[in-house]
């Protein structure tokens, strides 16, 4: 059965500083190290036949080492981008006085929760279509809120005994079947990281 490796991008300096990120935010040095460690894990244990990634730089930089380690190309989709927080991007999360990550309203020049949910549904359809064309598993490199949306909106079905995390870690791996009911067998796993490369638990998960 084809499996989907749902991956959050590596750490950025703005993740660590708890700042909502502009679209062009790159990985930090730790994030690049995390991405390399993830690539080595997948090259050694997964049977990947394809990679689909968000086209934002932090996702591209996470997908690139995986592609190199597994000798695969990468397809990119803007549907997999993080929720657009518009004019809030670049601002410290803790200075806003409310939680924009869970707000239903669209921030100025940004995306409402309803619009984001609709885009995530379209992204999931694109993931399934791409996976159906492969003979093997597929890595999907995206963002914390996208993975959270797929899980919390019951798109995915968690195996008995699994629970959703409060936050999605950088370069975490969540494995789901590519066939209904899209059963999840692994959630938010960062076993490829050690004490030197693991993110700070205070890092912003999303945005």
Q: Tens of pLDDT along the chain (207 residues)? A: 799 999 999 999 999 999 999 999 999 999 999 999 999 999 998 899 999 999 999 999 999 999 999 999 999 999 999 999 999 999 999 999 999 999 999 999 999 999 999 999 999 999 999 999 999 999 999 999 999 999 988 789 998 999 999 899 999 999 999 999 999 999 999 999 999 999 888 899 988
CB 188 within 8 A of CB 11: no
Q: 3-189 belongs to which homologous superfamily?
A: Phosphoglycerate mutase-like (3.40.50.1240)
- The Cα 165–Cα 201 span in angstroms is 12
Query: How much is the pTM?
Result: 0.96
| Torsion sign (Cα): 58, 204, 115, 177 | positive
Tokens 């490796």 -> residue: 5
- The Cα 133–Cα 113 span in angstroms is 31
DSSP 206: -
Please tell me the predicted confidence (pLDDT) of residue 67: 98
Give me the residue spans of the domains in the chain.
3-189
């Amino acid at each position: 059965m084809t499996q989907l490796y749902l991956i959050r991008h590596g750490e950025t300096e703005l993740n660590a500083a708890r700042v909502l990120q502009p679209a062009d935010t790159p990985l930090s040095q730790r994030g690049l190290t995390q991405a390399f460690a993830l690539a080595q894990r997948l090259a050694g244990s997964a049977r990947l036949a394809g990679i689909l990634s968000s086209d934002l730089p932090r996702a591209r930089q996470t997908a690139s080492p995986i592609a190199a380690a597994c000798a695969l190309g990468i397809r990119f989709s803007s549907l997999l981008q993080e929720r657009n927080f518009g004019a809030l991007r670049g601002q410290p999360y803790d200075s806003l006085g409310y939680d924009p990550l869970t707000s239903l309203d669209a921030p100025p020049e940004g995306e409402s929760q309803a619009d984001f949910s609709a885009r995530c549904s379209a992204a999931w359809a694109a993931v399934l279509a791409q996976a159906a064309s492969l003979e093997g598993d597929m890595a999907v490199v995206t963002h914390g809120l996208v993975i959270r949306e797929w899980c919390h909106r019951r798109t995915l079905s968690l195996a008995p005994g699994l629970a959703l995390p409060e936050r999605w870690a950088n370069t975490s791996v969540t494995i789901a079947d590519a066939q209904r009911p899209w059963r999840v067998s692994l959630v938010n796993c960062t076993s490829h990281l050690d004490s030197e490369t693991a993110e700070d638990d205070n890092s912003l998960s999303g945005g």
